[in-house]
Amino acid sequence: MPASIPPIREWARADRPRERLRALGSRYLSPRELVALLVGSGGRGASALDVADAVLGHAGGSLRRLAAAQPAELQRLGGVGDATACRVLAGLELGRRMWSEEGEMEEVIRGPDDVYRRMAPRLRDLLQEEFHVLLLTSQHRVSRDLLVTRGILDASLVHPREVFRAAVVEGAASVILVHNHPSGDPTPSAEDRAVTDQLSAAGKALGIPVLDHVVIGDGGYRSLMQK
């Protein structure tokens, strides 16, 4: 039988994840070590690194898939309680928001590439659809990101009233529609086109044009207006 791995507290200090982070910086630690630091401590004969292995294994080693997990999923793993699951997911969410800041700092939305950079970090890994509306100023700066619906996109549920109420109140010059496909394939569906036509007609009547509808998938997007 292979020799058992001693608990982290018995390792040489220079080899412990926390000491390595202090000495080298967080960017030099492996995902396993970083997740172990979020886990904090193991239990029942398992070290924090053992728990980190289980957590990463649950997501097939993918941090993006792990970030999309629910706390209850992680709590089914050995050594993961409610507090640990919440710490791990909170840490990954902070990383996601850091990357999304780059898109949010774009001065002007020039086209669907800018929309994708802004919205992909928060939408591409979701397990259900979210339909957002970006309210734009006359200079095409985003004044607000409005979540309209969560769940399967249905033209009967995306009512123009919900989309344009805030646009009218806040004096938006135009809007851009954005939603994700959890399947990863951003090819627009017939329902996507129906929603686009419905909201474009409403925007034209109100004098608040719909500039685009961008569908976000895993690693790419489709623009209904460009198409």
CATH of the domain at 15: 1.10.150
Question: Phi and psi (nearest 5°) for 92?
Answer: -70, -35
Give the CA angle between residues 215, 221, 226 to the nearest 5°.
80
Give yes or no for residue 103 having a pLDDT over 90: no
pLDDT at 84: 87
Q: Which tops the pLDDT comparison, 100 or 172?
A: 172
pLDDT at 1: 36
In a shared domain, residues 27 and 122: no
d(CA 217, CA 213): 13
Q: Where are the alpha helices (DSSP H) in 81-176?
A: 82-104, 112-123, 160-169
Give yes or no for residue 27 having a pLDDT over 90: no
- Give the list of residues 6+ apart from residue 114 with CB closer than 8 angstroms, or none: 103, 106, 108
- Do residues 120 and 218 make contact, with C-beta atoms less than 8 angstroms apart? no
In a shared domain, residues 59 and 19: yes
Please state the pTM of the whole predicted model: 0.61
In a shared domain, residues 154 and 46: no
In a shared domain, residues 91 and 110: no
Residue 3, domain member (yes or no): no
Residue 1, domain member (yes or no): no
Q: Among 101, 123, 149, identify where a domain stops.
A: 101
In a shared domain, residues 17 and 111: no
CATH number at residue 194: 3.40.140.10
Residue 171, domain member (yes or no): yes
Domain count, the chain: 2
Residue 200, domain member (yes or no): yes
Which residue reads 């004969």 in tokens? Answer: 45
The tally of CA atoms less than 13 A away on the side-chain side of residue 198 is: 17
pLDDT at 101: 62
- CA neighbor of 191 nearest in space, from 216, 158, 142: 158
pLDDT band at 193 (very low <50, low <70, confident <90, very high): very high
In a shared domain, residues 219 and 110: yes
pLDDT band at 67 (very low <50, low <70, confident <90, very high): confident
In a shared domain, residues 92 and 119: no
pLDDT band at 122 (very low <50, low <70, confident <90, very high): confident
Annotate 54-86 with b (16+ C-beta within 10 A) or e (fewer). bbbebbeeebeebbbbeeebbeebebbeeebbe
d(CA 222, CA 227): 8
CA 92 from centre of chain = 10
pLDDT at 135: 94
Give yes or no for residue 19 having a pLDDT over 90: no
Residue 83, domain member (yes or no): yes
Q: Tokens for 82?
A: 């409610």
In a shared domain, residues 90 and 186: no
Q: Among 101, 129, 161, identify where a domain stops.
A: 101
pLDDT band at 11 (very low <50, low <70, confident <90, very high): low
In a shared domain, residues 159 and 87: no
pLDDT at 2: 45
In a shared domain, residues 95 and 121: no
Q: Is 149 helix (H, G, I), strand (E, B) or coil?
A: strand
Give yes or no for residue 185 having a pLDDT over 90: yes
Q: Among 101, 126, 152, identify where a domain stops.
A: 101
Q: Tokens for 116?
A: 């994708």
Residue 2, domain member (yes or no): no
Which residue reads 């397990």 in tokens? Answer: 127
Residue 45, domain member (yes or no): yes
pLDDT band at 6 (very low <50, low <70, confident <90, very high): low
In a shared domain, residues 115 and 160: yes
Mean pLDDT for the stretch of residues 78-91: 87
Find the domain containing 72 and state its range: 8-101
In a shared domain, residues 130 and 55: no
- Give the list of residues 6+ apart from residue 147 with CB closer than 8 angstroms, or none: 130, 131, 132
pLDDT at 207: 95
pLDDT at 61: 85
Write out the E strands in the chain.
130-136, 142-150, 174-180, 210-216, 221-223
SS3 content of the chain, % helix, strand, coil (to 5): 50, 15, 35
